[in-house]
Amino acid sequence: MKRKMKEKMKIIDGVMYDENGDAVFTKECKKDYTLLVPTMLPIHFALLKSMIEEFGYKVEVLDYRGSEVIQTGLKYVHNDTCYPATLVIGELLEAVFSGKYDTHKIALVISQTGGGCRASNYLFLLKKALKKAGYGYIPVLSFNFSGLKTQPGFRFSIPEFYDLAKCLFYGDLLMLLKNQCEPYEEEKGETERLVNFWIDKLSKEFKNKKFRKYKHIKSNYPLIIDSFAKIKRSDEVKPKVGIVGEIFVKYSPLGNNNLEKFLVKEGAEVYVPGLLDFMLYSVYNNVIDFDLYGMKKLTAKVSNLIYKFLLKKEEDIIDAVKSEGTFMPPTLFSETLKFREGYISEGVKMGEGWLLTAEMVELINKGINNIICTQPFGCLPNHIAGKGVMKQIREKNPNANIIAIDYDASASKINQENRIKLMLSNAKENL
Amino acid sequence: MEQKKSIFNSGIYLGVDVGSTTIKLALFKDNELIYKTYQRHLSMIKSKVLGELKKIEPLIGDESFHLAFSGSSGLGVANEIGVPFVQEVFATSELVKAVEKDTNVVIELGGEDAKVIFFDHGTDERMNGTCAGGTGAFIDQMATLMNVTNEELDELSLKSEKIYPIASRCGVFAKTDIQPLLNQGARKEDISASIYQAIVNQTIAGLAQGRKIEGKVMFLGGPLTFCKGLRKQFVETLELSPENAIFPEYAPISVAVGAAIYSSKIKETFNVHDLISKVKSLDTKKKVTKTLDPLFESQDEYDEFLKRHSKATVEEIPISEYSGDAYLGIDCGSTTTKLVLISDSNQIIYSYYNSNNGNPVEIIKSELEKIYTLIEGRIVIRGSVVTGYGEELIKKAFKIDAGLVETLAHYTAAKHFNPNVDYILDIGGQDIKCFKIRKNAIDSINLNEACSSGCGSFIETFAKSLGKDIKEFAKLGLFASNPVDLGSRCTVFMNSSVKQAQKDGAEIGDISAGLSISVVKNAIYKVIREASASALGKNIVVQGGTFLNDAVLRAFEKELGYNVIRPVISGLMGAYGSALYAKTLKLEKSNLISREDLEKFTHTSKMVKCNGCGNHCNLTINLFNDGERYISGNQCEKGESLGAEHADVIQLPNLFKYKQEKFKKLFDTEVDENKKTIGLPMSLGMYDLAPFWKTLFEELGFNVVFSGFSTKKIYQKGQYTIPSDTVCYPAKVMHGHIFELLDKNVDIIFYPCLTYNVDEKNGDNHYNCPVVAYYSELLASNLDELKKVDFLYPYLNINSEKELSKELVKIFAKYRKIDAKSMKNAINIAKIAYERWKFDIKQEGKKALEFAKNNDRYALILAGRPYHIDPEINHGIDKLATRLGFVVLSEDSVDDIELATNLGVLNQWTFHARMYNAAKFASKNKDVELVQLVSFGCGIDAITTDEVRSIMESEGKLYTQIKIDEITNLGAVKIRLRSLKGVLDEKKNERENEDN
């Protein structure tokens, strides 16, 4: 089988192409290629970059903003495709066009969720766009946990995957603490400085394999939490606003017009469920596939093991936050998943699926009644798991103050902000 | 304002509401409203606010007062001058709580926002989403379209006799529905009322979203104050008793009053003189963030541009100096009527270009009268040809010799300017058309989709709303130094972007230039779908009324990076092409209506409902004085045969019809009183698995009842329970199907959740799309009525007999005990029925192909999803195609011939894999064509359309896509199919010539 693949490969101008004419990222490429990664979560991605570099890659996390990204995206991606595809591909192409890189020595990384949502096709849209722009020789790398085809030079071992997951542990913790400190900090900018300090310190630690051991990581949690607890904060009462929704626009400042910053500026505290939840959700769905449809028994068994393993790790974070006592801890995923009961089946697994519903209910149960549900305009799964369940959530939780915001290349910021302001007015009144 | 006596303490309170189009003020002094205003601000926000403050300066004097701003455009001002701001919906609820405590619901329509506030069980406020423009600005647009004032529109609406269905999602959609009605001669009274009804429906569907509007309802905002007809229709639709429908006198300024009330809760006070100087010092210039390069840097550059374009010209001679033969071309477009008379040597001797004012027949009549007077026997009209939306009506009315597809008309004209033309882009009032020319034939055609249409007339409407005429507005844009970046989606989005730009202080010129650039980007990136200009061609001719606007033309050239040809008669190209074509007819004598007959000519129209079939189309019957009539609005041959002309239409094989007949038989079930009844809603995935479920449940001893094909009525039944207004139409009608089943008194309703669809081994995976897979979850959440029955939506593995049986045994145990063995048995029987059903369709497909081959017909695959078979979803496109002479196939009738491999996408949805296979088949056969049907809002089709296109184009075949939604207008579809046919005929001729 493997040999057959090799036979179909062709080498043109030093670039290897597979049978579909896609540029191949060989093991040799690893040495001198730079991987360009679009941003999503600034903290997490900074950590991931440091870690992947330890694996021997050169990585650059992009931070393009502004209308050029959107314009380029619109030019090269079908305009009815979801907004995240427009942005991510727009950002990558901007980098390719920028002249900053030797285009023969870069590869583009794009995440692929897998599953029935159209997001599993982003990779293909990027390939099409590159070919359209005349850069078909740039390899495209899929970053996914779903076993979708990856490039030969971009495969991670299980310990490496685990190391990547550790970045998410740190990332989720830092994000949680940042969100709870920043709105109250007395010295402006202190929180952000502390976040950067930790990103820097942890990145340096990654260089030493010993410090990548979980035991060490766990021992870092109290130090991190303490340092944030020491930030001088006012005791002002501010409305808490939870952000849920489609993963990209939920997290990415580029995707949601700097939503977190806007909310903080408007006098709110932001709560965003962590990325680990989404990972657990993705893993858990394989278990459900077996429960509901009797499919892929082996995958389900392995997934169940991974699930339990990761769950324990999440619990460690929660315990650390709890034992320090200053901050509101995240909810354990096994609790989160119960919140969907009575609203939506766990069978809804495309996009954010039932997790989106569960997170909204979880927030309300945490006392965070103000919720912004973000989605790209026309997002298919969110018709069901987002807007589709709101009536029920409101009926069962009369205090719920939920608003759905659509993000799109041409949706105007003023419309979005106007609706958010409405939600905030209610939030402040209910304070 | 009696009641408000108790609201305020003594003192002065000012509420200022600056919305998207109007500014409202309410000033209270010692509980009395001492000043109020409601007026359009024409985007000059700063100066309007300043003017108003100056007006009230003497009323307030040196006293300190409370103040709050509100409204979407008020936010920016409030931030700048540092005064309190209150979100407008919040302001409204402040007002209601203070004034009319027992109100249950408030409906407030503003310039561009629509809001519904529920007060029971905690305040629940809803605002329209980003894709829902139809409100005050929508009424303005529609009035402009019909060439009446808003007041006249209102008057007209009160005299209506009937309501037409008009798409209610957004203004652009509605426009696409209204324009053909105007062209077909429907009564303005009825259209006016229908426009209002569209707003009512949109408010109910888009905002109430499942929550019923009942109890005491208060109506607020400008449109609901000034439009009596709109008020009437709201009250009627919501079935409100007079005491429950409240139209307060302060309705238009309600938000301002609410803001004033809000201000009373804030300690901070202001001084009016200080405020005035603060507003004065506002620097409105520097804030706009997204700006683009200016269109022209200097007057010289503009002059050079003008000089260059003036070269592309047609000779014109005064009609009085000509004698001899002449040829008439008429282009009856969607918003304008164009008419050209040419001489024997192609000079223009007479031309006309104007808005058709909603009545093209009258305009053409008077133009023909003029022409007959001018030709004075010196000139003989030897041929006449009509093209455009109104083609059929005009042809019939004035006995025009021939009709011509628009695309060919334009190509004929463009060739006159540049014989080597290889690309034509036409942006008209409502349509964007582009076509590529290869080897002297139209090679591919792109037309804009319903969603992005209206761009040309959008600029005009927008100009008018700012109090400028289009020429003046365009001029302002030419030298604007910082054009605003307004995005390139639909016009509704542009409206909001304009609002944003206004907030940021953009000048009118910058907005004008920005709009022009947006129209151009929309054409290139959304309609043409090209990333680079060089792909278009070397010899580009642009035309259409919109290109008369120099700003648009310049924006296009700048975006392309090189120059194009705009014929001086850019707006007349369709008519000129028709006239040229008339010449090629080489007629002895034109059949055109004579001068004498023209004098006697009268035209009346009336509406009837066709009872030919279940569709009950609304027909417009146009009657002419000589007893001729023209019927429009029908979706099938039956209605048209009222005109007797089409009675001899040959029945061509039509797989859509065949499948519909099969479904009709399937729907015909018997009900045994002693058995429980299961209802199956007919939409989405049920169109594929219906034969399976029916057989299965009947085997298990249940009655099976179907909701049947969709109708508008069914849709409307469930419309108010739709929570997401951007979901596809097939999903939306699902709500109505549930109600239909409830009306049939079923015990159980069944629509399973199938993450994985039937595995047909065609692709990388076999998913359903999220909407097809999980729509039941949404229905269960949003339809309280479903609690009355057992709504079953189990998660099933349709591919595993074992798993399926296990789950079904569990679920149905409640009704009767079925052992695993008999369940498996039933499943097997059902499976056979399903396979047989599919096989039969494929067999019929082969027969149809055979027929096409033997009878020298084109076979046309209408490739969509199974649910596109529903006549309400496809709007009778299949019948239109057979009428044009195509043999019609469905994607699932020919998906077993070729296997599409090595695709550029992840081929992971069962229904879509069928389409790829069908496309592969069509691409490899010269007499098989494919048109892809796409439902608006189908996100997955953003991926499939590009892929199907590349499958077709890789073999040099034409790709045509038709986007469908609730719109019933087939006009644009007709153009597409006719153009396709025209191109095919031409290619065929060419092949035959080569063979000879």
Amino acid at A16: M
**pLDDT band of B70, cuts 50, 70, 90:** very high
Taking residues B73-94, report their average pLDDT: 88
DSSP strands (E only) in B335-492: 336-343, 348-355, 379-387, 402-404, 423-427, 432-438, 441-447
Taking residues B407-431, report their average pLDDT: 86
pLDDT for res A113:
74
**pLDDT band of B250, cuts 50, 70, 90:** confident
Closest approach of chain B CAs to the CA of A313, in angstroms?
A: 30
pLDDT for res B491:
59
Residue B36, pLDDT > 90, answer yes
Please tell me which of the candidates B210, B496, B774 has its beta carbon nearest to residue A348. B774
B901 contact residues in A (CB cutoff 8 A): none
Fold type of domain B107-247: Nucleotidyltransferase; domain 5 (3.30.420)
- A87 Cβ under 8 Å from any chain B Cβ: no
- B320 Cβ under 8 Å from any chain A Cβ: no
B123 contact residues in A (CB cutoff 8 A): 426
- Are A119 and B911 spatial neighbours (Cβ–Cβ below 8 Å)? no
Residue A91, pLDDT > 50, answer yes
Task: Please name the residue of chain B whose CA is at the shortest distance from the CA of residue A412.
Answer: B497
pLDDT for res B180:
72
pLDDT for res B4:
45
Closest approach of chain B CAs to the CA of A180, in angstroms?
A: 26
CA atoms within 13 A on the CB side of B290: 26
**pLDDT band of B168, cuts 50, 70, 90:** low
Pairing of strands B217-220, B245-246: parallel
Residue B43, pLDDT > 80, answer no
Spatial separation of the C-alpha atoms in residues A136 and A132, rounded to whole Å? 8
Residue B487, pLDDT > 90, answer no
Contact between chains at A123 and B942 (C-beta distance less than 8 A): no
Task: Please name the residue of chain B whose CA is at the shortest distance from the CA of residue A405.
Answer: B129
Class of CATH domain B425-564:
alpha beta
**pLDDT band of B276, cuts 50, 70, 90:** very high
A294 contact residues in B (CB cutoff 8 A): 797, 800, 802-803, 806
Average pLDDT score, chain B: 86
pLDDT for res B932:
94
Buried b (16+ CB within 10 A) or exposed e, B922-935: bbebebbbbbbbbb
Class of CATH domain B840-995:
alpha beta
Residue A2, pLDDT > 50, answer no
- Look up residue A248 and give its two tokens: 């990209």
Taking residues B451-469, report their average pLDDT: 69
Contact between chains at A411 and B942 (C-beta distance less than 8 A): no
Q: Which residue has the higher pLDDT, B421 or B128?
A: B421
SS (H, E, C) B468-495: CCHHHHHHHHHCCCCCECCCCCCHHHHH
- Are B388 and B573 spatial neighbours (Cβ–Cβ below 8 Å)? no
- A125 Cβ under 8 Å from any chain B Cβ: yes
pLDDT for res B622:
82
- Are B71 and B25 spatial neighbours (Cβ–Cβ below 8 Å)? no
Substitution target from A118, A291, A390 for chain B, most B beta carbons within 10 A = A118
Residue B497, pLDDT > 90, answer no
Residue A323, pLDDT > 50, answer yes
pLDDT for res B641:
44
B723 contact residues in A (CB cutoff 8 A): 383, 387-388, 390-391
Could you give the percent of chain A with pLDDT greater than 70?
A: 97
Taking residues B464-493, report their average pLDDT: 79
- A351 Cβ under 8 Å from any chain B Cβ: yes
Which helix H or strand E contains B81, and what residues bound it?
helix B74-81
Rg (CA), chain A: 22
pLDDT for res A201:
97
Closest approach of chain B CAs to the CA of A192, in angstroms?
A: 26
Taking residues B159-171, report their average pLDDT: 77
**pLDDT band of B637, cuts 50, 70, 90:** very low
Could you give the percent of chain B with pLDDT greater than 70?
A: 89
Q: Which residue has the higher pLDDT, B124 or B956?
A: B956
A184: buried, middle or exposed (CB in 10 Å: 19+, 13-18, 0-12)?
Answer: middle
Residue B661, pLDDT > 80, answer yes
Residue B42, pLDDT > 80, answer no
Residue B453, pLDDT > 50, answer no
Taking residues A258-271, report their average pLDDT: 95
Residue with tokens 């429906």: B201
- A411 Cβ under 8 Å from any chain B Cβ: yes
Average pLDDT score, chain A: 91
Spatial separation of the C-alpha atoms in residues B431 and A165, rounded to whole Å? 52
Please tell me which of the candidates B72, B122, B127 has its beta carbon nearest to residue A398. B122
Residue B287, pLDDT > 70, answer no
Q: Running DSSP on this structure, what letter comes out for residue A23?
A: B
Residue B89, pLDDT > 90, answer no
- B585 Cβ under 8 Å from any chain A Cβ: no
CATH number of the A238-274+330-429 domain: 3.40.50.11900
Q: Report which listed range, A211-220, A415-424, B388-397, is most confident.
A: A211-220
Residue A396, pLDDT > 90, answer yes
Residues of chain A with CATH 3.40.50.11900: 238-274+330-429
**pLDDT band of B2, cuts 50, 70, 90:** very low
Say whether the ipTM exceeds 0.90. Answer: yes
- B755 Cβ under 8 Å from any chain A Cβ: yes
pLDDT for res B186:
82
Residue A319, pLDDT > 70, answer yes
- Are B37 and B25 spatial neighbours (Cβ–Cβ below 8 Å)? yes
- B927 Cβ under 8 Å from any chain A Cβ: no
Which range is least confidently modeled, B3-7, B555-559, B654-658? B3-7
Contact between chains at B904 and A292 (C-beta distance less than 8 A): no
Which range is least confidently modeled, B429-433, B448-452, B989-993? B448-452
pLDDT for res B940:
87
pLDDT for res B170:
60
Spatial separation of the C-alpha atoms in residues B103 and B97, rounded to whole Å? 8
- A61 Cβ under 8 Å from any chain B Cβ: no
Residue B644, pLDDT > 50, answer no
Residue B30, pLDDT > 60, answer yes
Contact residues, A window 147-206, toward B, CB-based 8 Å cutoff: none
Note the pTM of the prediction, 2 decimals.
0.84
Domain range summary for chain B, segments of one domain joined by +? 2-100+257-280, 107-247, 319-417+577-600, 425-564, 656-838, 840-995
Residue A327, pLDDT > 80, answer yes
Note the pLDDT tens digit of each residue in A30-50.
989 999 999 899 999 999 999
- B87 Cβ under 8 Å from any chain A Cβ: yes
pLDDT for res A144:
78
Residue B729, pLDDT > 60, answer yes
pLDDT for res B211:
76
Length of chain A: 431
Contact between chains at A410 and B800 (C-beta distance less than 8 A): no
- A82 Cβ under 8 Å from any chain B Cβ: yes
Q: Which residue has the higher pLDDT, B19 or A326?
A: A326
Contact residues, B window 521-540, toward A, CB-based 8 Å cutoff: 521, 525-526, 529, 531-532
pLDDT for res B994:
74
Task: Please name the residue of chain A whose CA is at the shortest distance from the CA of residue B212.
Answer: A391
Substitution target from A8, A383, A402 for chain B, most B beta carbons within 10 A = A383
- A68 Cβ under 8 Å from any chain B Cβ: no
Closest approach of chain A CAs to the CA of B272, in angstroms?
A: 26
Contact residues, A window 260-319, toward B, CB-based 8 Å cutoff: 289, 292-295
Residue B111, pLDDT > 80, answer no
- B939 Cβ under 8 Å from any chain A Cβ: yes
**pLDDT band of A377, cuts 50, 70, 90:** confident
- Look up residue B716 and give its two tokens: 């409307």
Q: Three-state SS for B295?
A: coil
CATH number of the B319-417+577-600 domain: 3.30.420.40
**pLDDT band of B288, cuts 50, 70, 90:** low
**pLDDT band of B300, cuts 50, 70, 90:** very high
pLDDT for res B926:
87
pLDDT for res B611:
65
Which range is least confidently modeled, A190-199, B776-785, B848-857, B966-975? B966-975
pLDDT for res B639:
46
Please tell me which of the candidates A67, A120, A343 has its beta carbon nearest to residue B908. A120
Question: Do the domains B107-247 and B840-995 sit in the same CATH topology, yes or no?
Answer: no
Contact between chains at A384 and B939 (C-beta distance less than 8 A): no
Contact between chains at B531 and A76 (C-beta distance less than 8 A): yes
pLDDT for res B936:
81
pLDDT for res B433:
78
Q: Report which listed range, B246-255, B518-527, B599-608, is most confident.
A: B246-255
Note the pLDDT tens digit of each residue in B816-861.
899 999 999 999 999 999 999 999 999 999 999 999 999 999 999 9
Amino acid at B545: G
- CATH number among 3.90.850.10, 2.40.160.20, 3.30.200.20, 3.30.420.40, domain B2-100+257-280: 3.30.420.40
Substitution target from A20, A286, A391 for chain B, most B beta carbons within 10 A = A391
Taking residues B220-246, report their average pLDDT: 91
Taking residues B384-407, report their average pLDDT: 89
Taking residues A72-85, report their average pLDDT: 86
